[in-house]
Amino acid sequence: MQPFRISNVTIAVDGAAVHGSVSVKDGRIDSISPDAGAEPAAGETTIDGRGGWLLPGFIDLHVHGGYGADFMDAGHEAYDTISRFHAQHGTTTMLATTMTESPGRIRATLDAVDEYRSAPMPYARLAGVHLEGPFVSPDWMGAQNPAHRVDPRLDWLQEWHDAYPTLIKQMTLAPEREGALQMIAWLSERGIVASAGHTDARFDDMQAAADAGLRGMTHTFNACRGLHHREPGAVGAALTDDRIHAELIADGHHVHDAAMRLLARAKPPGKLTLITDAIAAAGLEDGMYELGGLAVTMKDGVCRLVDGGNLAGSTLTMEAALKRFVQATGWTVPQASVLASANPAQLLGLSEQTGSIAAGKWADLVLLTEELDVVGTWVCGRRVFEAEPR
């Protein structure tokens, strides 16, 4: 792999802006120079960043699909389609996220992701699987299929984990359901992120779950018991308990800008992560789609179940989530970049390899214009997306 330098950029380094260039060698970041005009080393090509932003590649913990494909399609072609589409929007790492489905379909998805990861991945890498359901609340199904909802079955989870001991990275479940605390403790012992979602949990339920090892709140504010001043609920726990890492769908449809600002003020900077929750409709035109066996209609880019009208995932990309969060909160681009890269890397235990721009780390990089439009994406120093010249 030929070494290269990306020059004339503003680099996001640990939440701050550094003007200069980044050199890449053998798939890793070799050095960061404050001097954008530095001479390239022997054999090093130079890419002119044209005064744009160079950020760590985005890490999406919660994504179901994109550009017509869904991870539960369980096939190589579908995974290429999804990872190619999201790489075009700056994502370099993602968790293949399932839905509330039958044990057989969940197992088939695990099989397919494991097989896909066994060979070189041509676009964004799949770091593992996020199991969203089937152990969720019947009262907060959102766009999950109620036909497949069950209370926690540790024997199912043990079987999946035994088959693929390092594949499951996160699980969304309702912590108030019978058997959930035992499952949360089991997940925590194995380093798997237990996250509350599609839940009717009260504040005390969430505290007990955090005591057992709960570490996340799935798409905060959505599909859960909301904040009330006498019963703070799951949202109140997510806002106030620093053990809980909060996901946010920053598309302006799932969460109002003011609620984004509230979350940004309430959480420590290291405990908030941007996600897409994107479904197969992402990147496509308005029309009819499917999610978890349920009919979905997309109008003006917003997806809802045909039956009931619940929001059904999103058409968001990480690039757009970063833009919206910056606009809604007034955070700087480097500060918001931490929510899209460093924080999810920390949650997945990948911080030593990726999630920030530092010498020795994988060259997972995204180059954006000053307006935050993606023009280039690299995974381990290999360019997986290059925008057409304007």
219 is in an annotated binding site: yes
What does residue 62 show for φ and ψ, rounded to 5 degrees? Answer: -145, 95
**pLDDT greater than 80 at residue 319:** yes
4-55+355-386 homologous superfamily? Urease, subunit C, domain 1 (2.30.40.10)
Of the candidates 277, 308, 19, 254, the one whose C-alpha atom is nearest the C-alpha of residue 145 is 308
Q: Are strands 287-291 and 294-299 parallel, antiparallel or unpaired?
A: antiparallel
pLDDT by residue (tens digit) across 211-266?
Answer: 999 999 999 999 999 999 999 999 999 999 999 999 999 999 999 999 999 999 99
**pLDDT range class, residue 1, cuts 50, 70, 90:** confident
The pLDDT, as a whole number, for residue 190 is: 98
Annotation: CATH topology of 57-348: TIM Barrel (3.20.20)
Average pLDDT, the chain: 96
**pLDDT greater than 60 at residue 13:** yes
Yes or no: say if 314 and 167 are a contact pair by the CB < 8 Å rule.
Answer: no
143 is in an annotated binding site: yes
**pLDDT greater than 70 at residue 99:** yes
Its pTM stands at: 0.97
Distances (CA, A) of 16 to 22, 30, 191, 201, 359: 15, 19, 30, 37, 16
84 is in an annotated binding site: no
The pLDDT, as a whole number, for residue 326 is: 98
254 is in an annotated binding site: yes
Same fold, 4-55+355-386 and 57-348: no
Q: Where are the domains of the chain?
A: 4-55+355-386, 57-348
**pLDDT greater than 70 at residue 177:** yes
The pLDDT, as a whole number, for residue 37 is: 54
The pLDDT, as a whole number, for residue 41 is: 74
Catalytic residues: 277
- Residue range 317-342: average pLDDT? 98
**pLDDT greater than 80 at residue 390:** no
The pLDDT, as a whole number, for residue 35 is: 65
230 is in an annotated binding site: yes
Yes or no: say if 67 and 282 are a contact pair by the CB < 8 Å rule.
Answer: yes
Two structure tokens written together for 85: 């589409």
The pLDDT, as a whole number, for residue 42 is: 74
pLDDT by residue (tens digit) across 351-366?
Answer: 999 999 999 999 999 9
228 is in an annotated binding site: no
**pLDDT range class, residue 38, cuts 50, 70, 90:** low
